[in-house]
């Protein structure tokens, strides 16, 4: 069951500059940052609020680490902006299987590693009304992140 907005993914050319925009404009601070080589991104997670399921909702700011990454490709075509949305679930495997059975393409056979050790998969934007959609199970679903 999808129980929250886990994050909104925003693609940018310059992560430090974008982090500073969110800090100066809204007062949001970086909760966590990391490089995910498999996804080809350097990212910052800004925690916006805790949620009723014991999790939280974030903004995920994404800067590409290499030219052939999905985010670099997207930025070249679209410029900066909202890249994807992510729903949180305690069971990414089960929810991905249920959604796949409804005819939506799930991009990974098995969930991969996302922010903060989470397990993630993606649904094809062409099957989701043009919205790249991620499903996320936190490393510790009972914890605040």
Active-site residues, by number, are: 7, 43, 60, 84, 134
Q: Are 71 and 10 in contact (CB under 8 A)?
A: no
**Of 95 and 134, which CB lies nearer to ligand CMX in the complex structure?**
134
Binding residue for ligand CMX, selected from 16, 73, 98, 100, defined by CB under 6 A: 73
| 138: partner contacted, choices ligand CMX, Co ion, none (Cβ within 5-8 A by kind) | none
| Per-residue interface string for the shown chain with Co ion, residues 71-110, x marking contact by CB under 5 A | ---------------x------------------------
Please list every residue from 106 through 145 that binds ligand CMX, using CB under 6 A. Answer: 107, 114-115, 120, 122, 124-126, 130, 132, 134
Closest CA to 75 of 108, 40, 32, 25: 40
Binding residue for ligand CMX, selected from 41, 46, 61, 99, defined by CB under 6 A: 41
CA–CA separation, 11 and 3 (whole Å): 24
Residue 65 beta carbon to ligand CMX: minimum distance, rounded to whole angstroms: 11
Binding residue for Co ion, selected from 2, 8, 9, 98, defined by CB under 5 A: 9
Strand partners, 85: 8, 133
Inter-CA distances, 89 with 23, 47, 117, 142, Å: 28, 17, 14, 11
Closest CA to 88 of 140, 128, 125: 140
Binding residue for ligand CMX, selected from 4, 42, 84, 119, defined by CB under 6 A: 84
Q: How are strands ordered across the β-sheet holding 133-137?
A: 30-36, 41-50, 56-64, 2-11, 81-89, 133-137, 119-123, 112-113
Binding site for ligand CMX (CB under 6 A): 9, 39, 41, 60, 62, 70-71, 73-74, 83-84, 107, 114-115, 120, 122, 124-126, 130, 132, 134
């Amino acid at each position: 069951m999808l129980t929250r907005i886990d994050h909104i993914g925003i693609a940018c050319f310059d992560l430090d500059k974008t982090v500073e925009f969110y800090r100066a404009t809204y007062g949001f601070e970086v909760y966590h940052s990391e490089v995910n080589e498999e996804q080809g991104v350097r990212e910052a997670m800004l925690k916006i609020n805790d949620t009723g399921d014991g999790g939280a909702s974030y903004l995920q700011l994404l800067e590409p680490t290499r030219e052939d990454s999905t985010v670099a490709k997207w930025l070249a075509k679209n410029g900066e902006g909202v890249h994807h949305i992510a729903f949180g679930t305690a069971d990414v495997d089960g929810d991905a299987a249920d959604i796949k059975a409804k005819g939506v393409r799930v991009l990974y056979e098995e969930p991969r590693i996302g922010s903060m050790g989470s397990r993630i998969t993606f649904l094809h934007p062409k099957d989701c009304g043009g919205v790249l959609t991620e499903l996320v199970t936190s490393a510790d679903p009972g914890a605040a992140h």
